[in-house]
Chain A
Amino acid sequence: MGEWPLIIFTLAMQAAAGVCLWTVYFETKKNGADFRLSTPVALGLSAVAMIVSLFHLGTPVKAINSLSNLSNSWLSREILFSGTFLTLLAVSVFLQRANLKNERLKKFCTYLNGIAGCLVVFSMAMVYMNSIKPAWESWNTLVDFYATALVLGGVILVMSSRKEMGDKLLGMNLILVVVVLLQIALLPNFLVGLGAGNAAAQASVKLIHDDYGAIMFLRWLLVLGGMILMLLSQVRKKQDMGCLYMAAAALVAGQVMGRYLFYAVGVATGIGLV
């Protein structure tokens, strides 16, 4: 499977978008926390994502051509939104470094980055939902991409800005638990839908059953385990750092495995596979 550039691109970009979405969430809270590191981290992630995405292209020197079909192609839109997101983050970091005390401008940047991140994840999902691989065409892609954004973004925000977060972490964790449980609850529906689909869809189910069942099981075990560890780390009086790090590692590993599976089990509808 040669899709590692896309695995890294989608995960890193979604993580950056997730960081921005969580920053918006905390901004809406009373006495919103001031995350000094969240925007630079999101900028770093999205920059890495954009650079790595070039390795997927056969002719990366002409990558700019990818913006030529904005009226029809979701891939064009994805690149536009990703580039805009990266630029907005760079401007936000610059303003942050310039130590501007304008609170309204800061708030405006936070919301703008959140909206751009949201659009990036949406366009990314639409790219795959407009392919001819039933496992990707499903609404599950949209759910999976947003869930990944929230989980990875949450983990990264916790790791980079734990001190500023203080006691607000529990609220975020509870939302994450709901997101992950929702994802798991929708999984059987997705698999049954594929099973009842065309030959390509059934080939995807066969791949999951025959070749990737263990990875899928391990993926969900890591994600669920990670969530439980993260909650446990908050229950004790003092935040348990060891528990928190283990939770973060498990959640990141789970999401990487999930994305690997996403690409591995995509089978195209084609001649003889209908």
Chain B
Amino acid sequence: MGQKGFYFDMTICIGCKTCQVACKDKNELPVEVLFRKVRTFEGGKYPKPWVYHLSMSCNHCAEPKCVKNCPTGALYKRKDGIVAHNRERCIGCQYCVWSCPYGAPNYLEEEGKSGKCDMCADLIDKGKNPACVDACMMRALHFGDLEELKAKYGGTSNIKVLPDSGITKPSILINPKPIAKKGV
């Protein structure tokens, strides 16, 4: 079974945050906790201002630092590459929060445990799409086998505002706007 991943087309994302809301709703997250977050980056000046949006959740990395560092084994990789989280085992030490360069794990204060995107594994196991993918009205988000996504759409996991992909080898492919490309 291949590594599952996300594809995000930045060139058509309008930053409406529907994916973020759908994720929050699906996971019943408290105020200030987001498993998927849309960030907006802007700059430049007239006549060349620029703006782009970046929708990101857990990247279900091939070499996830959170899984390696988690002392309880609560974070683990499934056969399909999804980084899942067993809340029963979690002790709320927050070491995963200190380990992820994408800020994916959140600390859930009320529960005294961490939590993160599991790619809606329960829906995937039923043959459905993750909530964020189905909610995107621009069809900017896709999920699937990473190799298949790469063959179909291409994309990169290295853009200007992201940590180097060599740290954890994230399973994310992005079609960046020219201004977001690394080295521009």
B-contacting residues of A (Cβ < 8 Å)? Answer: 56-60, 62-63, 65-69, 72-76, 79, 127, 130-133, 268-272, 274
- What are the 7 closest A-B residue pairs judged by CB atoms, nearest first? A58-B92, A58-B112, A75-B71, A65-B72, A76-B71, A66-B71, A68-B73
30 A-B pairs in the complex with CB atoms less than 8 angstroms apart: A57-B93, A58-B107, A58-B113, A59-B90, A62-B72, A65-B73, A65-B91, A66-B72, A69-B70, A69-B73, A72-B67, A73-B70, A75-B69, A75-B71, A75-B95, A127-B95, A130-B65, A130-B68, A130-B99, A131-B69, A132-B167, A270-B102, A270-B163, A271-B54, A271-B56, A272-B39, A272-B41, A274-B160, A274-B161, A274-B164
* CA gap between A74 and B101 in the complex, in Å: 18
A-contacting residues of B (Cβ < 8 Å)? 39, 41, 54, 56, 65, 67-74, 89-95, 98-103, 107-109, 111-114, 160-164, 167
Q: Given A58-B111, A268-B103, answer yes or no on A66-B91 (Cβ-Cβ < 8 Å).
A: yes
**Contacting residue for B101 out of A56, A58, A66, A132, CB 8 A:** A132
Measured in the bound complex, the distance between the Cα atoms of B15 and A48 in whole Å is 50
Which of chain B's residues have a CB closer than 8 A to the CB of A270? 101-103, 163
> Which residue of B39, B90, B100, B162 is within 8 Å of A132 (Cβ)?
B100
Closest-CB distance, B88 to chain A (whole angstroms):
8
- Tell me, in angstroms, the Cα distance from A63 to B91 when the chains sit together: 6
Residue numbers in A under 8 Å from B94 (CB-CB): 56, 58
Query: In the complex, what residues of B have CB within 8 A of residue A67's CB?
Result: 71
Contact A271 B102 (CB under 8 A): yes
Q: Once the chains bind, are A59 and B92 in contact (CB under 8 Å)? A: yes
Q: Are A269 and B72 in contact, CB atoms less than 8 angstroms apart? A: no
Rounded to whole angstroms, the CA-CA distance of A69 and B65 in the bound complex is 13
Q: Which of A60, A66, A133 has the most CB of B within 10 A?
A: A66
CB of A58 within 8 A of CB of B91, answer yes
For the complex, give the distance between the alpha carbons of A68 and B74 in Å. Answer: 9
Within the complex, the shortest CB–CB distance from A172 to chain B, in Å, comes to: 35
Query: Shortest Cβ distance from A120 into chain B, in angstroms?
Result: 15
* CA of A272 to CA of B91, assembled, Å: 29
Q: A58-B108, A65-B90 are in contact. List 19 more A-B contacts (CB 8 A).
A: A56-B93, A58-B94, A58-B107, A58-B114, A62-B89, A65-B74, A68-B71, A69-B73, A130-B65, A130-B69, A131-B69, A131-B95, A132-B167, A270-B102, A270-B103, A271-B54, A271-B161, A271-B162, A274-B161
Measured in the bound complex, the distance between the Cα atoms of B67 and A73 in whole Å is: 9
Q: Which of B65, B68, B89, B103 has a CB less than 8 Å from the CB of A68?
A: B89
Contacts of B107 in A (CB 8 A): 58
